[in-house]
Chains A and B, each alone.
Chain A
Amino acid sequence: MNDHDELGTRLTRTLTEHSDVMSGSSLGLADVKGRARSIRRRRTATAVVGVAAAVAVIVPTASLAAHTSGKPEPAPAITQTPSPTTTASPDSGHQPAPGVLDVSDLPTGDAPRMDYVANGVFHTADGDSFGVGTRYRPDQFVELDDGSRVWHTTANGKAYVEIQDSDGNFHDPVASGWGLTVNASHNVVAWLDPSGQVMLWEGRATEPRPLGDPIQGSDLRLGPVFGEGIGANGGSGPGCTVTGCTVYVNVTDNQGHRQVWEVSDAATQQLRDGGYLVLNDESEAGLSIGLTEIKDFESCSKLLGGGEFQGFETCKNQLQSFSPDGKLILALPTNYDGLGPTAMAMYRLDGTRLFERQATVHAQAAYPGATWEDDTHVLAPFFQDGTWSIVRVGSDSNMEYAVPPVSGDDVDNPFILPTGGALSAGS
């Protein structure tokens, strides 16, 4: 017997011996059906989220509200449809029924009007394509106003941030604990390192730097970055140190309560204004949206503003992110976990719901996150029936393919849209 065979034989014996500790079987049909109900609910009526400020990272809110028992699947919502804004071609595909989120046979429209990644290839909005060039596998990226990019990548269960200068050169990867978020001007990017320390990359800087003190607690998620960095300051000054950037961090404390922390150079403190449990986004006009109540099977959200602005509250959807002009709000189901949101809605600032679309048992569409393409459209990678596509959804609820479906596994999304959207979104 040669050495290879000996190792193989030893391996087989070792694995067999160790697998024997799993003797017996305790799983019953009821257990399986219960988990199946949970998965189906997740696919058809619940969701997973994006990060603040127009998107992109998956955040199962199972951590916000653990739940496993069955709940009736809701019927598709009634849809209100204002004037059309999408560019569906009339000769192929069709719009699903009002209220239904079915991306199986849509018309094909324009390619994404922003850069994106498909299967490790970077596609620019003007049609160029090239390899992404990151050291590890990318799952998120942000484009900055100085032409640089910040990538979030993973390898062997560890997460990294890779900064790519405007000339295309990469800095050495640094460890990350949670993904990227960017300010509206696209000159400040933040992430959390594994210790809960907020890290900043201010465009044109030479090194990332820590902001404030590390956040204690578990299940840390970045909320929005608010404020201006170096680019907005017009020069090579100290950026956020002068202009007062604030990064919001959503966290679960030791008692299991959700909290929002605001982190700046001046202070690291709990956000008590607004009564938010989770802060999802803040607009340039100073409006904010987030969760105010989290129950086992639902949550309530509110829009808050200053002065005379009344805002509104809803327990029908989770208010997720503002459009680039701050006039519309992308909304998700009130509760979600698992592979991705399976419903989408949009609201006006006065609380009018423009539409809601929900997946059904027969059309199990899900998306891991969505990003605003312009003031009235979002783009989202969708999985349905063994295929992935990028779908454009308008504020009139019309949908079309921006990238037609390609075969794929449900856990292997080939597409990455830029967190925070395109640099010119809404302009």
Chain B
Amino acid sequence: MDRPPEHGTGTVGVADRKSARDTRDADFAAYLAARQPSLLRTAYLLTGNRHDAEDLVQTAFAKLYLSWDKVRQQGSMDGYVRRILVNEHNSLWRRAWKKREHSADDDTLHRLDRPHHDVQDDGVGAALWDVVQTLPRKARAVVVLRYYEEMSEAETAAVLGISVGTVKSQTSRALAALRERAPQTLNPRAREEEDR
């Protein structure tokens, strides 16, 4: 079969392409509106501040947009965009640059971002959040996917592109760190000693 001409008289072809692009954009915009709030929340848990979370989500959606046709055909948009989000956050070059770009304002923003639930749980939640923030990025990603997204170990492994065994060991280490450094109410060993 002859290929249609790419240049010259193809005004109908141009209109068709524009229509297809508009439809594609409309589909993507609908997906963006639907999934953005959820992805922003996950991004916030990964980054710990609003600015980086928004930046991360924008990049993740942009990469999804570039691969939209292929990914949509496979019906794997949610997994794909979440994987981009987490891996983008973990990537070395980004970490290096973000480290340089951060300013003292970040701490202020971080404080302003805090929710006000501390009274209800005697500050345990806030303390736990602080400890989560100190976890290495990959460990934090495992914690967020397992305990916020409530993914299975296999799903977490698929998103992070690591083995289930690695997810298990990362989870175990992260929980041990949290138990060690979190408030005593969450540390059974400390509680036992206190009871004595």
A interface residues (Cβ-Cβ under 8 A, vs B):
3-4, 6-8, 10-29, 31-33, 35-36, 38-40, 58, 60, 62-63, 139, 154, 156-157, 159, 218-219, 339, 409, 411-412
Q: Which residues of chain B (12-63) have a CB below 8 Å from chain A?
A: 25, 28-29, 32-33, 36-37, 40-45, 50, 53-54, 57-59, 61-63
Given contacts A27-B57, A32-B28, A411-B90, 12 further A-B contacts (CB under 8 A): A10-B125, A13-B125, A20-B115, A21-B113, A21-B114, A25-B36, A27-B54, A32-B58, A35-B62, A39-B63, A411-B87, A412-B91
State whether A27 touches B45 (Cβ < 8 A). Answer: no
Picked from A35, A218, A411, the residue with its CB within 8 Å of the CB of B58 is A35
How far, in whole Å, are A27 and B124 apart by their CA atoms in the complex?
33
- B93 near A15 (CB under 8 angstroms)? no
* B79 contacts A by Cβ under 8 Å: no
Q: Are A12 and B147 in contact (CB under 8 A)?
A: yes
Complex Cα distance, B148 from A249, in Å, reads 44
Instruction: Summarize A's interface: helix, strand, loop or mixed.
Output: helix
Assess the A14–B128 pair: CB atoms within 8 A: yes
B: interface residue count bin = 35 or more
CB distance from B158 to the nearest CB of A (A): 13
A7-B66 contact given A14-B129, A15-B132, A26-B54, CB 8 Å threshold: no
> Does residue B165 face the partner (Cβ distance < 8 Å to A)?
no
Choose among A22, A27, A28 the residue with the greatest number of B CB atoms under 10 Å from its CB.
A22
Interface residue B72 (Cβ < 8 Å from any Cβ of A): no
Nearest Cβ on chain B to A136's Cβ, whole angstroms: 12
Q: CB-CB < 8 A to B94: which residues of A?
A: 411
Q: Which residues of A contact B150 (CB under 8 A)?
A: 12
Give the interface SS of chain B, mostly helix, strand, loop or mixed: helix
With both chains docked as a complex, state the minimum distance between the C-beta of B76 and any C-beta of chain A, in angstroms.
Answer: 14
16 pairs, A vs B, C-beta closer than 8 Å: A4-B175, A10-B125, A11-B132, A15-B129, A18-B114, A18-B115, A22-B41, A22-B53, A23-B37, A27-B36, A27-B61, A36-B66, A39-B62, A40-B66, A58-B93, A412-B91
Q: Which residue from B57, B136, B148, B161 sits with its C-beta under 8 Å from A156?
A: B136
- The complex places the Cα of A10 from the Cα of B129 at a distance, in Å, of 10
Q: Cα distance A60–B66 when bound, in Å?
A: 21
- Is A33 in contact with B186, judged by CB distance below 8 angstroms? no
User: Given A11-B143, A39-B66, A154-B92: A19 and B125 within 8 A (CB)?
Assistant: no
Cα of A146 to Cα of B147 in the assembled complex, Å: 52
**Which B residues have a C-beta under 8 Å from some C-beta of A?**
25, 28-29, 32-33, 36-37, 40-45, 50, 53-54, 57-59, 61-63, 65-66, 87-88, 90-97, 99-100, 113-115, 117, 124-125, 128-129, 132, 136-137, 143-144, 147-148, 150, 161, 175, 178-179, 182, 186, 188
**A139 touching B92, Cβ below 8 Å:** yes
List chain A residues, Cβ under 8 A from B148. 12, 15-16, 19
- CB of A18 within 8 A of CB of B129, answer yes
Q: Chain B contacts of A156 at CB under 8 A?
A: 136
Distance in angstroms between the alpha carbons of A18 and B41 in the assembled complex: 8
